């Protein structure tokens, strides 16, 4: 995730690597985007 990521709204489907949890991905995205409104969609 070295490039800037801009999303105005909606969903971002991420195929995470083994060993990564949803929380790991959310933390990484929050750090990269500096957005507070990011979270996993559990229960689909």
Task: With respect to residue 40, please indicate whether it lies within any of the assigned structural domains.
Answer: no
Query: Which run of H or E residues covers position 25?
Result: helix 22-33
Predicted local distance difference test score (pLDDT) of residue 4: 55
Predicted local distance difference test score (pLDDT) of residue 6: 61
Task: With respect to residue 25, please indicate whether it lies within any of the assigned structural domains.
Answer: yes
Predicted local distance difference test score (pLDDT) of residue 44: 46
Mean pLDDT, contiguous 10-residue spans, the chain (44 residues) = 59 86 88 81 61
Long-range CB contact pairs, 19-22, < 8 A, 24+: none
Cα distances from 25 to residues 5, 10, 14, 17, in angstroms, run 14, 17, 8, 10
Task: With respect to residue 3, please indicate whether it lies within any of the assigned structural domains.
Answer: no
Range of the domain at 25: 8-35
Tally of domains within the chain: 1
pTM, whole model, 2 decimals? 0.62
């Amino acid at each position: 995730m070295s490039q800037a990521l801009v999303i105005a709204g909606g969903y971002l489907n991420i195929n995470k690597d083994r060993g990564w949890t949803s929380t790991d991905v959310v933390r990484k995205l929050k750090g990269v985007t500096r957005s507070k409104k990011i979270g996993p969609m559990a229960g689909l």
